[in-house]
Amino acid sequence: MHVLWRGTSAQRVRLVTGLILFAFAGTHFFNHALGLVSLEAMVSFDGWRTAVTRSALGGLVLAAALVTHAAAALLKVAQRRTFRLPAWEWMQLALGLAIPLFLLPHIVNTRVAGLVFGIDTSYPYELRKIWTDTMIGQTLLLLLVWAHGCLGLHYWLRLVPRYRHFAPLLLVAATLLPFAAVLGIVTQGRNVAAITADPAAFDALKAATHWPDARTTAVIVGWRADAQLAFYAIALVAFLVAVGRTLRQRFAMRIPVQYVRGPLVKTSAGPTLLEVSRMNDIPHMSACGGRGRCSTCRVLIVGDESGLMPASEAELATLRSVSAPSNVRLACQARVRAAATVLPLVRLGRGGDTPVFVQASDEGSVERELAVLFVDIRGFTAMTEKKLPYDVIYLLNHFLHTVGQAVYGSGGWINDRAGDGVLAVFGDPAGLAGACRSALLACAEVDRLIEQLNVRIASELAEPLRVAMGLHCGPHVHGRVGIGESMSMSVVGPAVNVASRLEFVAKDANVQLALSAEVARLSGLDVEGLSTTPTTIRGTTSPMDVYLVERARELGPRMRP
């Protein structure tokens, strides 16, 4: 499915009806611009245009598009759970709400007046009516409609890579057309006003167009006001519904959503992950504005995927287009129903769309309870000292991929790496106990996957890869560290130092894992039969109890449900 046609049925309805209305507006404004040529050119083209738009079928399609587009927009407003939107979405919303203030009177003055009272609302009639009493209002209407349509068209077409090559030319055309349309109206408005300055000519125009008398004019004016009142009453109801949903959302925020390398927030059941991000001022890329087309809002669901409602076919179609794995969802479509841990995969970098982690803020930091795991290859220097640099990189990449698979699959994330060492971090919406359990599961998975890796690369090594791991937990400061573009999210705290030291304890004891008694206690680990040793960690005042695990796969049976 082409990127421009992706999205839900409701989004496609808004798209199709919007394109119909944009095409109508474009041809109508081109008709105005012909006033720079002559009044006859305007009238001649208007005859061809209205033969379509005012035919039975054309009129029905146009009216249906207008009503459906407005209704769909108001329904979308009513369904909002947050009004924290990007600037361009706010602008498009504001323009869309302002248009009916001028459009509805114009429709009543022209199409309704023509159908009900038989008035010939062609250019001579309209130009005499517009000039000069309503010229400002008509100009504002033209600019509002054109800006609203062009804004929507731009954010739709920019999903196509080739669009950027034609965007400058389209911008020129989009600027010239309304400018020419206003000049055409001004030119012929003055012309018609000059002609009808002669009372006889004005009387002839009134007779030819069935000019409305005072009573008919009063009825038309009343209908214009009624149309405006009806629309804005419905719009007010839509906004009140949205405000009600927003307030209810605030009072029912009990479901935890953990952002990997970001904050832990609370929400209610129902909003999309993109809405959750916007509610909590978490930067979240969404090039198409949450319409399910671009896939830039996609997130990795870490751990249990049941916290989100099942994906619709429209969402699956977009995910298939980028070959996303089963645990990746579109944040604009995935609705929360239970606790979830998510990792946003894309953000807008300075040089374009760059797949990097989205952070809660660019400069700030936050204190969080986390489990920290250090994983290191034992004897890596001696193992690779006779290998070529390319071979060393090959082995390292396989190792890092293996550890990353275990860490991310268990709900953690890789915070840092140095040489053959990896620093992994685990958080949990439910608290530190869940983070410790996730970290222990990751240790067991590292053991299993390293064994599989050794089978695959047996011919590359004289002896199998062996790892040493250190695991501890506690409070950390989580924030961005670095200078300029090199800044990245890091965790800082005593537990990081302890976990690093425990990795050396594991090496010295010739075991796979050394974990603190605090991790064992919080996770509910059965420690019966495990070797233990009081260990003094440099920088601490007293020894701490450390449990030694020869093979991390032994942890599985020891973890109580």
The tens-digit pLDDT sequence of the chain (561 residues) is 467 888 788 888 999 999 999 999 999 999 999 999 999 999 999 999 999 999 999 999 999 999 999 999 999 999 888 888 888 889 999 999 999 999 999 999 999 999 999 999 999 999 999 988 899 999 999 999 999 999 999 988 887 778 878 889 999 999 999 999 999 999 999 999 999 999 999 999 999 999 999 999 999 999 999 999 999 999 999 999 999 988 887 777 778 888 876 788 888 888 999 999 998 888 888 878 888 887 888 888 876 788 899 999 888 988 887 777 788 899 999 999 988 888 887 654 444 433 333 333 333 445 678 899 999 988 776 666 666 676 677 788 888 888 888 888 887 888 777 667 888 888 877 778 888 998 999 999 999 999 998 888 887 777 888 999 999 998 776 555 544 444 455 666 777 888 888 999 999 999 999 999 999 999 999 988 899 888 887 656 678 889 999 999 888 888 766
Are residues 137 and 100 in contact, defined by beta-carbon separation less than 8 angstroms?
no
* CA 527 from centroid of its chain's CA atoms: 45
Predicted pLDDT of residue 357:
35
What are phi and psi for residue 495, nearest 5 degrees?
-65, -30
Q: Is 292 left (phi over 0), alpha (psi -120 to 50) or beta?
A: left
Which H helix or E strand runs over 470?
strand 467-481
* The pairing of beta strand 467-481 with beta strand 513-516: parallel
Predicted pLDDT of residue 1:
47
With 0-12 CB in 10 A as exposed, 13-18 as middle and 19+ as buried, what is 65? buried
Nearest to 270 by CA among 259, 258, 279: 279
Which H helix or E strand runs over 424?
strand 421-426
In angstroms, rounded to a whole number, what is the distance separating the alpha carbons of residues 34 and 41?
A: 6
Sign, CA torsion 379/385/388/389: positive
Predicted pLDDT of residue 245:
86
Predicted pLDDT of residue 485:
44
Sign, CA torsion 319/324/325/330: negative
In angstroms, rounded to a whole number, what is the distance separating the alpha carbons of residues 272 and 281?
A: 14
Domains of the chain in start order, with CATH, are 3-248 (no CATH), 255-354 (3.10.20.30), 365-558 (3.30.70.1230)
What are phi and psi for residue 403, nearest 5 degrees?
-65, -40
Sign, CA torsion 155/160/164/166: negative
Tokens of 375: 């994983």
Distances from the Cα of 556 to the Cα of 24, 30, 64, 508, angstroms: 66, 72, 62, 24
Neighbours of 198 (CB within 10 A): 10
In angstroms, rounded to a whole number, what is the distance separating the alpha carbons of residues 44 and 48?
A: 7
- If you search the block for the tokens 């949205």, which residue do you land on? 242
pTM above 0.85, yes or no: no
Q: 202-205 — which CB contacts under 8 Å span 24+ positions?
A: 202/128, 205/124, 205/125, 205/128
Predicted pLDDT of residue 81:
84
Neighbours of 533 (CB within 10 A): 14
Distances from the Cα of 267 to the Cα of 271, 277, 291, 361, 429, angstroms: 8, 10, 21, 19, 12
Measured between its terminal Cα atoms, the distance across the chain in Å is: 44
Q: Is 379 left (phi over 0), alpha (psi -120 to 50) or beta?
A: left
**∠ Cα 500 474 420 (to 5°):** 25
